[in-house]
Amino acid sequence: MSLLIYGAYGYTGELIAEEAVDRDIDVIVAGRNEVKTEHLAERLDCEARPFALNAAPANIDDVDVLLNCAGPFTDTYGPFIEACLQTKTHYLDITGELSVFEAIAERDREAEQAGICLLPGVGFDVVPTDCLAGHLHDRLPGADGLRLGFDPSGTISKGTLASVIEHAEEGGKVRRGGDIVDVPPAHRSRRIDFGQGERDAATIPWGDVSTAYYTTGIENIEVYTAMPKPMANAARFSRLASPVLGFEPVKRSLQALIRATVTGPSERQRAEGECHIWGEATDGETTVTSRLKTPETYALTVDAATTAAERVLESPPEGFQTPATAFTPEFVLELDGVEGFFDE
């Protein structure tokens, strides 16, 4: 049983490839850059398979599971989904891009007919929040409102920043009445106790606006992150710059700058960092609250993505899945260093 990791020489992809090899998974490292791919394969003592996206079908035909770590995922998911449906290869990725979740969800029936699993978001976005959403729904099955949030530590990688730039002009998103609707950036603020006392927080267009709906069926969803009031105010004013960020030359220039100057968190930062996850579900009369404490976001991504790949290699579900529908909400509790669920 083989796992092909595409974008394996990127910051997160390389960490996942190292972990997968340590777990004795039959790993193939892949990516567009031949030199980087082959150097990584030599270091990890595994197969190298450099190829461009348009050559995906011929390069994954003999692969059981593809784990896509190459962002922005809006550029890479499409060719891979088509190739996976054609070759009957299970598809996983570590996207956090809301539009990508929605687009992949639309391929559910095709995936079922092909007998394959389409499972995006097996990293920090959205494993802990998606599992928390599923847990809250189990606690209050009649809930019609769901709010999730997180308070992270540490820095972010160039791949994550590139994805942020890719979608910056789209503004905020929430789900209302089952539909994803546009709202201004940081349109709603509140005080939230993520697990260490109350902090200021504001809404963001996180992937759970898409995935939590498929996990729970709850039609009204907002996602928050800890955000000091000055930062939330700056985010609200950022909508004035959205048209500029949507201009393709500006977007590509910013992404090139990120690739040249940004690195991810150090090994020490990954080991020492942590994140607090909060959620509440309500049916209008009763509100239930639960929390999680997780390792640093990239450390969790490496563990979650590798563990999800192992699960799909062993016993794959079919069709479009979220982490909680594929593996149950307790999946997050099986990851190293995760503590919870803490229920109120």
pTM of the model: 0.89
CA pair distance 40, 34, nearest whole angstrom: 10
CATH 3.30.360.10 in the chain, residue ranges:
127-297
What is the structure's pLDDT at 170?
63
Asked if the model's pLDDT at residue 152 lies above 80, the reply is: yes
CA pair distance 204, 206, nearest whole angstrom: 6
CB contact set of 229 (below 8 Å; sequence gap of 6+): 189, 200
What is the structure's pLDDT at 245?
41
What is the structure's pLDDT at 163?
44
Least-confidence region, from 74-78, 268-272, 338-342: 268-272
Least-confidence region, from 33-37, 64-68, 154-158, 335-339: 154-158
CATH 3.40.50.720 in the chain, residue ranges:
2-123+299-327
Quick one: which of 255, 268, 303 has its CA closest to 154? 268
The structure tokens listed for 245 are 């960020």
CB contact set of 51 (below 8 Å; sequence gap of 6+): 30, 32, 58, 59
What is the structure's pLDDT at 233?
53
CATH code given to domain 2-123+299-327:
3.40.50.720
Return the higher-pLDDT residue of 72 and 44.
44
Note whether 35 and 9 are within 8 A (CB): no
Q: For domain 127-297, is the CATH number 2.40.50.140? A: no
What is the structure's pLDDT at 271?
85
